């Protein structure tokens, strides 16, 4: 919801998750009334006294005063922000002047700024440093915001004014960004249901409220279930295969035991190295069964969310939730997304079968799901004489950031320097980003890299402030990157696996998308577009980390300072497509589960009684082998049930078409920092936000539509690039 509030109340409308088929002229005011009955909100000056959200933040870079913000400050600030936003909307609606771009569209874009200020902090802190009080507040605040969002969407007088301006758009003399703001504002009112009959709007508002509550509960269940699981080991003899760094990281302080949790970094590290097969089986089962039973069972919530989304989509005139979502994405239809996935799945399954045979030859017995990581490492070492643990000493966290910063500086002519700024947690580091040529401040980049029990899993980018340039007031963004790395023992460096290095470059790509934006209006500045495009700027940045030229910049042994040996780099690159059958299959399996949940009609969804039975049926339909678990089961698939990727998880792979094709332009030129190509990438991708439709932005950068061949080639399923021999 914090991202939905980007840009104030206007973006509440722009990010609405319901839709209708076509725009209808609003009915005469006498025949229609707002469908949302808003309760009165009373908030006194005494309740707001000393509240940091009501003060101007004058600290360095406008960073929130985290040390001053207490849990009890959120609700009063939210209530006051809602009251102010309502007044701002009323002023637009009741303006006696004829609707204009300035008094309606621009005025709407400026509403809700005090609410946005508190919700951004609340949304970020509940992701990184939550507690029982904040969990309870989520259950109260987010339904309130959904109700306010719907009140804006379904305000007939407001939509009438927006439509009046839109209908005369060709006569207004708007510049490109103004015209785009008008287009998107109208489009998203329509897609949110502003043109539907009052009865349908009322039902949709109720569905939105239910969905908001369930997604919040789903996320909290997952965090609680994840924290509740620990694989405890008391016999040191059972730690065979694990590195000293890993054992030190999971050692229980003051006790003679070790506890391994379900963070993906811990999970993959243990599954790849632990020699004790029974322990691997226990952790594997803990991971794949998380939040699937007991007090934190997310299975019923997944079913209910699918049912509510299907019902809402039908009210809006769509065949399914997936058909609604993908209408504005690059795939356009779920059928096209499925066709794409199957094209990649076919070679993926074939390769996975070959990988399984190789592992069973080494193991000397049939392998099961909990064996895959362990024996794939054995095969890697056998085939390529390459052990990923050989790389860790060369990938120290701060040095890796230096490498990412150097890549960005060379591509985009920016400078990035560490600055001292108080963060929300002692682990946070901050960096100022400037235009290298002019010295102009472009934004603040804040990173929070380590796992803790109060932090949700995974890796993500977010923001505490978006960019805007309205009325001559130039505001630059505050962008964050978050990961869940294992905290090293005291005095020891943070050393990364290749996967973690790639993830760091990925999230930094998202960060650059937010930092470099040159868009005037918050509603479409920075990170904009569906996941099938949004993942392109992040995934294209992944390509640089393993290039020999780039590794020479930052990959140095943390003790000796020696640059990573080319022999090791060659082994790593030779093994780069290793295990791609497994990786491709587990990803596509999850994507298929997502699409099929959201392609259900309301009638079909009503018949589902078991989330596990449903996903098994999907996996059997596509011949996914039982030995390969989908990357996410329905009970811990937070991307689609507690995040913004419903019917869109496939987008990571779709975006790989773009990133593989985009990086291919650099490779074919013979210069991975080609200034002409980099300038186009910066202008049309990293700076342009949602200035134009995403396929047009890509064509402006690349000069043509992308092809699938570079993607298949990068995964080892196609012929090598001519430039690479």
- Residues marked active site are found at 507
Contacts of 50 (CB under 8 A, 6+ apart): none
Residue with tokens 């509510």: 308
- Contact yes or no for 185/105 (Cβ under 8 A): yes
Q: What CA–CA distance (Å, rounded) separates 678 from 701?
A: 9
Q: b vs e for 231-270, b when ≥16 Cβ sit within 10 Å of the residue's Cβ?
A: bebeeeeebeebeebbebbbbeeeeeebebbbbbbbbebb
First to last CA, the chain: 48
- Residue 647, CA atoms < 13 Å, CB-side half-sphere: 28
User: Does residue 412 come out as left (phi exceeding 0), alpha (psi in the -120 to 50 range) or beta?
Assistant: alpha
Q: Which two tokens stand for residue 409?
A: 């500086």
Contacts of 612 (CB under 8 A, 6+ apart): 292, 299, 633, 634
How many residues are there in the chain? 725
Q: Distance from CA of residue 398 to its chain's centroid?
A: 23
**Helix, strand or coil, per DSSP, at residue 429:** strand
- Contact yes or no for 74/133 (Cβ under 8 A): no
List helix spans (H) across 94-175: 107-109, 113-128, 132-153, 156-167
Q: Which two tokens stand for residue 171?
A: 């006569």
Q: What CA–CA distance (Å, rounded) separates 410 from 625?
A: 44
- How far lies 547's CA from each of 155, 339, 544, 551, 658, in Å? 53, 32, 5, 6, 19
Q: What CA–CA distance (Å, rounded) separates 612 from 299?
A: 8
Q: Which two tokens stand for residue 456?
A: 């949700």
Q: What CA–CA distance (Å, rounded) separates 537 from 541?
A: 7
DSSP state string for 172-241: S---HHHHHHHHHHHHHHHHTTTTS-HHHHHHHHHHHHHHHHHHHHHHHHHHHHHHH--EEE--GGGGTT
Q: What CA–CA distance (Å, rounded) separates 696 from 700?
A: 6
Q: What CA–CA distance (Å, rounded) separates 644 from 460?
A: 12
User: Which residues share a beta bridge with 465?
Assistant: 478
Q: Which two tokens stand for residue 264?
A: 């993906």
Q: What CA–CA distance (Å, rounded) separates 511 from 195?
A: 36
Count each helix (H run) and each strand (E run) in the chain, helices first: 29, 9
Q: What CA–CA distance (Å, rounded) separates 296 from 285?
A: 16
* Element (DSSP H or E) covering residue 485: strand 478-485
Q: What CA–CA distance (Å, rounded) separates 431 from 61?
A: 11
Q: What CA–CA distance (Å, rounded) separates 287 from 264?
A: 9
Contacts of 690 (CB under 8 A, 6+ apart): 180, 184, 519, 523, 524, 525, 528, 529
**Helix, strand or coil, per DSSP, at residue 470:** strand
């Amino acid at each position: 919801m914090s991202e939905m509030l980007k840009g104030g109340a206007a973006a509440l409308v722009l990010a609405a998750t319901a839709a209708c088929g076509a725009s209808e002229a609003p009915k005469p005011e006498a025949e229609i009334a707002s469908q949302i009955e808003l309760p009165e909100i009373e908030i006194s000056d005494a309740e707001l006294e000393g509240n940091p959200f009501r003060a101007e933040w004058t600290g360095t870079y406008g960073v929130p005063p985290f040390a001053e913000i207490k849990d009890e400050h959120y609700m009063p600030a939210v209530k006051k922000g809602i009251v102010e936003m309502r007044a701002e909307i009323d002023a637009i609606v009741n303006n006696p002047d004829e609707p204009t771009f300035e008094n309606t569209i621009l005025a709407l874009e400026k509403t809700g700024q005090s609410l946005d200020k508190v919700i951004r902090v609340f949304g970020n802190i509940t992701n990184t440093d939550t507690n029982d009080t904040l969990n309870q507040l989520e259950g109260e605040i987010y339904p309130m915001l959904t109700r306010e969002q719907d009140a804006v969407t379904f305000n007939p007088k407001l939509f009438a004014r927006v439509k009046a301006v839109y209908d005369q758009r060709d006569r207004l003399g708007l510049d490109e960004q103004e015209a785009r703001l008008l287009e998107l504002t109208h489009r998203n009112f329509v897609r949110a249901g502003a043109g539907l009959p009052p009865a349908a709007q009322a039902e949709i508002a109720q569905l939105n409220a239910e969905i908001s509550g369930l997604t919040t509960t789903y996320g909290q269940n997952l965090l609680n279930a994840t924290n509740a699981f620990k694989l405890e080991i008391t016999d040191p003899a059972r730690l065979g295969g694990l590195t000293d760094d890993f054992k030190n990281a999971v050692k229980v302080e003051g006790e003679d035991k070790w506890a391994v949790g379900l963070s993906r970094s811990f999970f993959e590290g243990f599954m790849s190295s632990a020699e004790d097969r029974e322990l691997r089986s226990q952790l594997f089962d803990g991971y794949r069964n998380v939040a699937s039973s007991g007090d934190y069972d997310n299975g019923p919530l997944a079913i209910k969310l699918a049912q509510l989304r299907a019902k809402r989509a039908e009210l809006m005139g769509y065949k399914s939730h997936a058909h609604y979502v993908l209408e504005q994405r690059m795939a356009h239809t779920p059928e096209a997304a499925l066709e794409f996935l199957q094209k990649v799945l076919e070679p993926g399954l074939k390769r996975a079968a070959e990988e399984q045979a190789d592992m069973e030859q080494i193991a000397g017995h049939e392998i099961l799901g909990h064996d895959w990581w362990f024996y794939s490492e054995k095969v890697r070492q056998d085939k390529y004489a390459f052990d990923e643990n050989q790389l860790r000493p060369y990938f120290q966290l701060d040095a890796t950031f230096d490498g990412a910063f150097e890549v960005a500086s060379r591509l985009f002519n920016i400078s990035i320097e560490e600055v001292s700024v108080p963060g929300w947690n002692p682990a946070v580091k901050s960096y100022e980003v400037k235009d290298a040529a002019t010295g102009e401040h472009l934004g603040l980049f804040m990173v929070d890299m380590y796992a803790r029990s109060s932090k949700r899993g995974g890796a993500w980018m977010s923001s505490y402030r978006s960019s805007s340039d309205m009325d001559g007031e130039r505001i630059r963004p505050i962008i964050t990157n978050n990961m869940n790395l294992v905290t090293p023992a005291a005095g020891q460096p943070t050393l990364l696996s290749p996967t973690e290095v790639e993830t760091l470059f990925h999230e930094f790509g998202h960060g650059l998308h937010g930092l470099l934006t040159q868009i005037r209006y918050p509603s479409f500045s920075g990170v904009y577009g569906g996941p099938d495009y949004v993942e392109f700027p992040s995934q294209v940045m992944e390509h640089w980390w393993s290039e020999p030229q780039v590794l020479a910049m930052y990959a140095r042994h943390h003790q000796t300072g020696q640059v990573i040996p080319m022999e090791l780099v060659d082994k790593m690159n030779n093994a780069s497509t290793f295990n791609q059958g497994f990786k491709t299959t587990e990803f596509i399996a999850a994507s298929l589960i997502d699409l099929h949940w959201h392609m259900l009609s309301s009638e079909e969804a009503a018949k589902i009684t078991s989330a596990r039975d449903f996903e098994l049926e999907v996996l059997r339909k596509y011949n996914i082998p039982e030995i390969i678990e989908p990357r996410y089961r329905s009970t811990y698939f937070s991307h689609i049930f507690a995040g913004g990727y419903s019917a869109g998880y496939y987008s990571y792979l779709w975006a790989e078409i773009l990133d593989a094709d985009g990086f291919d332009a650099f490779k074919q030129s013979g210069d991975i920092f080609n200034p002409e190509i980099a300038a186009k990438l910066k202008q049309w991708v990293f700076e342009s936000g949602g200035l134009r439709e995403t396929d047009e932005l890509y064509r402006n950068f690349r000069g043509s539509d992308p092809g699938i061949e570079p993607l298949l080639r990068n995964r080892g399923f196609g012929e090598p690039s001519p430039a690479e021999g």
